[in-house]
Structure 1
Amino acid sequence: MKFSIVKEKFLEPLADISSIVARKTTKPILSHALLQTSGEHLLLKGTDTEVTLQILLNELDIKEEGAITVPAAKLLDVVRHLPAQATVYCSLEKEQLLVKAAGSVFRIATLPAEDFPALAEADMDRRIESDSRALHDIMQKVRFSMASEDVRYYLNGMYLNIVEDGNAIHAVSTDGHRLSCARSALPSPAPMTNLIVPKKGVSELIKLLGRVSQPVVLNLGERQLSLTLGGYRLTSQLIDGTFPNYEQVLPPVQETPVLVSRQAFLESLQRAKVLLLDRHDGIRLTFSDAKLQLAARNLENETADEALDIINPQALQLEVALNINYLIDAISTINGDNVQLHIADSSSPCLITSSEDEGVRYVIMPMRL
């Protein structure tokens, strides 16, 4: 194998592959990237067995065909520190990858290409057509409430659900204490289906979708999802489980929700957060006619008090405690000048919506302080 490529054409694909491969693993091959030259193309491939990324590069000069695997992070660091616009020459010498550029020479240990995992791809018999930006946005709006390493494994990802006779898609996530849901219309009807994408697959999908603005197709198999964009092909295993019925969790929309300035509310929460350093800390919200009072207290008995104007004053006397970090996540993500707070009573969940971000709903369970 022998090829040359300009640094800038090599660097981003290597970074993308490096984000896929396993960081801590008992199998060294899973920390490696596969490099394979064939015809006029260089194939880069990385996997952690759950998520696989293949990148086909054609802006390079290939002298010899071949294949090898190399530590992805190490090769990335080498290329990253080379001079700008340098031509990078790569070749195999005595089971090492020889990398030359601008007077620098590196010899990197390799493993045989035959050792790289050959992951079978399932039959992709269903497809969802969407706009890349619309799909990116709804996934981005709900990603923060996915669970991490929860024993309820079906919560460690994002639920994508085709609704409205195939004309819309819901992206949903929950960690059991809060729930996020966003909706987007589809340009053409999709088969009624639902799937749970694992957390890492979600992150990589969002990254790729955010780079373009064009129609895209998600291809679905029984246990896999794939997205092809240009020379990139991302494949993710799906979580085999049943996602909770999120529609049952969504509180009813109040006829006259409390309306407050989104920016003022967010800034008040961020100021109070200075004293609340634990991720489980709560803040007390007191609704009284035309004012919303915020009160925080930490274990050192330090306090923070804020007052906000309610834009639509109403005869309301209500007090509720909510996790301050969950509030900040929701209020900082939703769009609009104002946010609507739907709360029936102090023991009921809080529903957050915005008239300027239709289809986005955040639910936060109440706390005891």
Structure 2
Amino acid sequence: MRATLERSNLLKSLNHVHRVVERRNTIPILSNVLLKAAGSTLTLKATDLDLEVTETVPAEIGRAGGTTVPAHMLYDIVRKLPDGAEVALETSADGQTLIVRSGRSNFALQMLPESDFPDLTTGDFPVRFEVPAAAFKGLIDRTQFAISTEETRYYLNGIYFHTPTAEGRPVLRAVATDGHRLARAQVAAPEGAEAMPGIIVPRKTVGELQKLLDTPDETVTVEVSETKIRVTVGAVVLTSKLIDGTFPDYARVIPQNNDKALKVDRAAFAEAVDRVSTIASERGRAVKLALTSDGRMALTVNNPDSGSATEELDVGYDADPLDIGFNARYLLDIAAQLKTGSALFRLADPGSPTLIQDEGDDDALYVLMPMRV
């Protein structure tokens, strides 16, 4: 194999694929990136057996062929080469090493055979649809923070995508929950998405998708089978196994009869929560919201070890007085996802879940369990 290409093109592709590779691997081939030269392109592929990323870049091919070399090492070498450099990749005559040449720099990397590299992409993907990158990224951004990190409840370790009918129209909906909070976002269902079964996309895959979906005006192709999802973004193809489990009936958690409405300036509220939570301990990050019917809210944090903090805000609230506590970190996570200037809270009592959303926007909602304060 012999290929020559721009350092910037190679670095961008290695940046996409090398992140999939775990730093510590018991299977040597999984530490490697597959390089395949053919026609006028170089294809790079990396996998951890659950997730696979492939990208094709233009290159000058002197001799077709393929091999695998350590992914993180190759990435570090290319990253440290000067801007504008040309990089030549060539397998040695004895077939043992890949020679990386650029200017006066020469590296020889140990290779493993291409035939040992696993392939995750086999099988049919019966469901296929296209969605704008901005819309798909929006679904992920607005829900990923609520993914559970508790490995025993593995079916919560990802985002649940499905296509229900809401208000007479099919929607593509994303849901994530960790048992303390729930995030739900939706967009109008693209053509072909209605056939998609409910799927749970794993946390690591979600993180990679967030990084890939950085061109808002691009169109993303999504393909789904019973066990896998394949997402094509430009020249990058990401294939991932799905979580084999049943997502809970989240609709039962969303409160329907919370009759106390609170309107608050989103930015002012987030800043106030951030300020008073400075005093909170890491273990108990509770902030108490004390609401009065004359439109005032007092945010209070008490920490027996370091002191207390209080801040008042003017709010829109005319129901009965209410004291309710929340985890400050969770409040800030939700506030960061709200888009409009005004946040709407629907409350019931100090022990019941609270509904939070943008005023006038039903496409995203958040449910937050209160804390005892």
Matches within 5 A, 1:284-323: 284-289=288-293, 290-310=295-315, 312-323=316-327
Match of 2:195 among 176, 185, 191: 191
Deviation of residue 21 (structure 1)?
Answer: 1.4
Sort the Cα spacing of 1:68 and 1:277 in 2 relative to 1 into closer, same or farther, 3 A.
farther
Instruction: Tell whether the 8 Å contact from 2:355 to 2:367 is kept in structure 1 after alignment.
Output: yes
The count of residues paired between Structure 1 and Structure 2 equals: 367
Matches within 5 A, 1:218-367: 218-252=222-256, 254=258, 257-278=261-282, 280-289=284-293, 290-310=295-315, 312-367=316-371
1:121 maps to what in 2? 122
Deviation of residue 202 (structure 1)?
Answer: 1.1
Match of 1:176 among 151, 176, 179: 179
Separation in structure 2 between the aligned mates of residue 160 and residue 316 of structure 1, nearest angstrom: 38
1:70 maps to what in 2? 69
Separation in structure 2 between the aligned mates of residue 161 and residue 118 of structure 1, nearest angstrom: 27
Instruction: Tell whether the 8 Å contact from 1:296 to 1:305 is kept in structure 2 after alignment.
Output: yes
Separation in structure 2 between the aligned mates of residue 357 and residue 104 of structure 1, nearest angstrom: 56
Q: What secondary structure, in the 3-state scheme, does the structure 2 residue paired with 1:257 have? A: strand
Q: What secondary structure, in the 3-state scheme, does the structure 2 residue paired with 1:151 have? A: helix
Sort the Cα spacing of 1:305 and 1:238 in 2 relative to 1 into closer, same or farther, 3 A.
same
RMSD: 1.7
Instruction: Tell whether the 8 Å contact from 1:33 to 1:44 is kept in structure 2 after alignment.
Output: yes
Q: What secondary structure, in the 3-state scheme, does the structure 1 residue paired with 2:215 have? A: coil
Separation in structure 2 between the aligned mates of residue 194 and residue 107 of structure 1, nearest angstrom: 47
Sort the Cα spacing of 1:239 and 1:78 in 2 relative to 1 into closer, same or farther, 3 A.
same
Separation in structure 2 between the aligned mates of residue 66 and residue 192 of structure 1, nearest angstrom: 38
1:110 maps to what in 2? 111
Deviation of residue 149 (structure 1)?
Answer: 4.1
Separation in structure 2 between the aligned mates of residue 299 and residue 82 of structure 1, nearest angstrom: 54
Which amino acid is 1:206 matched to?
Q
Deviation of residue 100 (structure 1)?
Answer: 1.2
Which amino acid is 1:56 matched to?
T
Q: Percent identity?
A: 35
Instruction: Tell whether the 8 Å contact from 2:260 to 2:348 is kept in structure 1 after alignment.
Output: no
1:139 maps to what in 2? 140
Separation in structure 1 between the aligned mates of residue 169 and residue 242 of structure 2, nearest angstrom: 20
Deviation of residue 356 (structure 1)?
Answer: 4.8
Separation in structure 1 between the aligned mates of residue 360 and residue 214 of structure 2, nearest angstrom: 21
Separation in structure 2 between the aligned mates of residue 48 and residue 277 of structure 1, nearest angstrom: 38
Separation in structure 2 between the aligned mates of residue 253 and residue 83 of structure 1, nearest angstrom: 62
Which amino acid is 2:368 matched to?
I
Deviation of residue 263 (structure 1)?
Answer: 0.5
Deviation of residue 229 (structure 1)?
Answer: 2.5
Which deviates more from structure 2 when the two are superposed, residues 221-230 or residues 21-30? 21-30
Sort the Cα spacing of 1:143 and 1:302 in 2 relative to 1 into closer, same or farther, 3 A.
same
Unaligned runs of 5+ in 2: none
Sort the Cα spacing of 1:129 and 1:208 in 2 relative to 1 into closer, same or farther, 3 A.
same
Q: What secondary structure, in the 3-state scheme, does the structure 2 residue paired with 1:347 have? A: coil
Instruction: Tell whether the 8 Å contact from 1:122 to 1:222 is kept in structure 2 after alignment.
Output: no
Separation in structure 1 between the aligned mates of residue 204 and residue 257 of structure 2, nearest angstrom: 33
Please state if 1:3 is matched with 2:8.
no
Which deviates more from structure 2 when the two are superposed, residues 199-208 or residues 263-272? 199-208
Which amino acid is 1:13 matched to?
S
CA deviation vs aligned residue, 1:147-182 (integer Å, no higher than 9, x gap)? 124201100000001011772111000111111001
1:56 maps to what in 2? 56
CA deviation vs aligned residue, 1:212-240 (integer Å, no higher than 9, x gap)? 42333311111001012332111110011
Instruction: Tell whether the 8 Å contact from 2:157 to 2:203 is kept in structure 1 after alignment.
Output: yes
Unaligned runs of 5+ in 1: none
Instruction: Tell whether the 8 Å contact from 1:129 to 1:186 is kept in structure 2 after alignment.
Output: no
Separation in structure 1 between the aligned mates of residue 117 and residue 190 of structure 2, nearest angstrom: 39
Instruction: Tell whether the 8 Å contact from 1:131 to 1:187 is kept in structure 2 after alignment.
Output: no
Which amino acid is 1:246 matched to?
Y
Q: What secondary structure, in the 3-state scheme, does the structure 2 residue paired with 1:74 have? A: helix
2:87 maps to what in 1? 88
Instruction: Tell whether the 8 Å contact from 2:257 to 2:348 is kept in structure 1 after alignment.
Output: no
Deviation of residue 192 (structure 1)?
Answer: 5.2
Please state if 1:21 is matched with 2:21.
yes
Instruction: Tell whether the 8 Å contact from 2:172 to 2:190 is kept in structure 1 after alignment.
Output: no
Sort the Cα spacing of 1:151 and 1:5 in 2 relative to 1 into closer, same or farther, 3 A.
same
Which consecutive aligned stretches of 4+ in structure 1 deviate over 6 angstroms post-superposition? none
Separation in structure 2 between the aligned mates of residue 22 and residue 253 of structure 1, nearest angstrom: 47
Instruction: Tell whether the 8 Å contact from 2:200 to 2:242 is kept in structure 1 after alignment.
Output: yes
Instruction: Tell whether the 8 Å contact from 1:142 to 1:180 is kept in structure 2 after alignment.
Output: yes
Separation in structure 2 between the aligned mates of residue 235 and residue 254 of structure 1, nearest angstrom: 41
Instruction: Tell whether the 8 Å contact from 1:334 to 1:357 is kept in structure 2 after alignment.
Output: no
1:159 maps to what in 2? 160
Which deviates more from structure 2 when the two are superposed, residues 85-94 or residues 152-161? 85-94
Instruction: Tell whether the 8 Å contact from 1:167 to 1:188 is kept in structure 2 after alignment.
Output: no
Separation in structure 2 between the aligned mates of residue 39 and residue 185 of structure 1, nearest angstrom: 40
Separation in structure 2 between the aligned mates of residue 112 and residue 63 of structure 1, nearest angstrom: 20
Separation in structure 1 between the aligned mates of residue 369 and residue 65 of structure 2, nearest angstrom: 56
2:149 maps to what in 1? 148
Deviation of residue 256 (structure 1)?
Answer: 5.4
